[in-house]
Structure 1
Amino acid sequence: MGSTEEDRAIARLVKFGDRFLRGKQVRLISSTNEPLGIVSFEQALTRALEAGEDLVEVAQNATPPVCRVMDFGKFHYEQAKRQREAKKKQHQHKVKEIKFHPNIDPHDYQTKVTHALEFFEKGHKVKASMFFRGREMSHVELGRQVMDRFIKDTAEEGAVESFPQQSGRMIVMLLAPKIKKPG
C-alpha cells in the first residue's frame, strides 16, 4: 500500500497521539493558534491537507481531543532542541572517593585534604572512606579522629552530607560542596 498525503497525516497523528480518531469529533486549532471550533476528524484532516501541513493531536485527555494543524517535523525538531538545551543546563554531580587508613602520614593526609578542596571547587561531592586492616580494627577511635579532623579541615569549602558511619571494616562519610552565595 502506497503512502499518500492522507496516510502520512494519519500516521503522524497516530504516532504522536497513540489513538485512532476516525469518526470522532475534535477541537481544531489552526497553525496560527486560532481556535477553529469542534469539527469531525475527517474535516480536520482535510483542512490540514489543504494547508499542506500535518494534523497533530496535542491534548489527548481533553474532551473532545484537541488537534492542531502544524508542521510536525518542525514541531518535533524544536521539541528535541529544547530538550537538548535543558540537558546542557543540568549539572552532573560526580562523587569522588578519597581513601584513608587510620595511621595516615601527616603529609599524605594534607594531600588528601587538598584533593578534596579541589573537588569541591569543581562542584563534585567527596566520599571519604577509612579502611581498617588487621589489628587496626581494635583502634576504631583513631579512624574516627582522622575523619573528624578531615571534616574540620574541609569545612570552609564542604559540608557534611552524611556523617561517618561504620560498616564492617570501613567508615564512610559523604561531603558536598557548600553553595556559594553570589555577591
Structure 2
Amino acid sequence: MLLTPPARSPHWRVHASRLTILNETAKETTTIRRPFKAAAPTKDGPRSNRDIRVPRVQLIDAEGQNRGDVSINDALLLAEEAGLDLVEISPNAVPPVVKILDLGKLKYANQKKAAEARKNQKVIEIKEIKMRPNIDSHDYETKMKAVRRFFEEGDKVKLTLRFRGREMAHMELGMQLLNKVREEVATIAKVEAEPKLEGRQMMMVLAPR
C-alpha cells in the first residue's frame, strides 16, 4: 500500500508567509552606520610657513627691513635660506604682513609674557574679621594683625561686630570699636562702606590704599 505524505497544515502556510514578510521588513529597515570622523585639530597662534596660503605678502626680513610686496614662494625661500620661519604678523593687511623670525623664540616669549601677566594679576578678595563689642585687648591685637596682613596682600576687610542679648542696648560700643579700627589703619586703608547695622550685626568694609 502506498503512503501519501500528510498535507501541510494551512496554519504552516500562514506562519511561513509571516516569516517572509518579517524578513523583508528587516532588510528594508537595516541602516549602515558610517565611521565617525573627527574634526581636524586647530592650531594656536599666528600662521607660519606653509600654513600661510596667500599668493602675495608684504615681507619684513630677519633684519627688520621691509622688502615690500613679494610672492609667498619667494618669502618662504628667503626664510629657509636664513634658517628661520615665516610668520604672519598682520593677517588683515592687504596683502598680509609676514616676518622672518624664530618661531620657537616667539612662542617662548609669548608664553613667558602670559605667565608674568597671570602672576601679577591679583584677584581682590574680601576677608571677614569678626569681633565682639567687648573684645579684650589681646584678642583685639590678634585681630588687628590679621587686618594689616590682609591689607598688605591687597585684600579688602569686612569687620563684623555681633551683639548678644543686652549688648543690643549699647550700640555705641560697637561704633566706638569700629572708629578705633578705622583710625589705627588710616594710613594704609580707607573706608569703602560706612558702618551699618543689620539685625544683630554691625559691619564696616575697609579697602587698602
1:56 partnered with 2:87: yes
1:131 partnered with 2:166: no
1:17 partnered with 2:49: no
Q: How does 1:29-178 map to 2 (within 5 A)?
A: 29-88=60-119, 95-120=126-151, 124-133=155-164, 140-167=171-198, 169-178=200-209
One-letter amino acid of the structure 2 residue matched with residue 16 of structure 1: G
State the Cα deviation string for residues 36-57 of structure 1 (Å, max 9, x = none).
1112223322322232211111
State the Cα deviation string for residues 64-92 of structure 1 (Å, max 9, x = none).
21111111001111232334445555566
Distance 1:137 1:41 in 2: 81
The structure with higher relative contact order (CA 8 Å, sep 6+) is 1
Cα distance, 1:106 vs structure 2? 4.1
Unaligned ranges ≥5, structure 2: 1-42
Aligned identity (percent) is 44
RMSD (CA atoms): 3.5
Q: 2:47·2:87 contact (CA, 8 Å) conserved in 1?
A: no
Unaligned ranges ≥5, structure 1: 1-13, 179-183
TM-score when normalising by structure 1: 0.68
One-letter amino acid of the structure 1 residue matched with residue 157 of structure 2: V
Secondary structure in 2 matching 1:16: coil
Aligned residues between the structures? 167
One-letter amino acid of the structure 2 residue matched with residue 29 of structure 1: I
TM-score when normalising by structure 2: 0.61
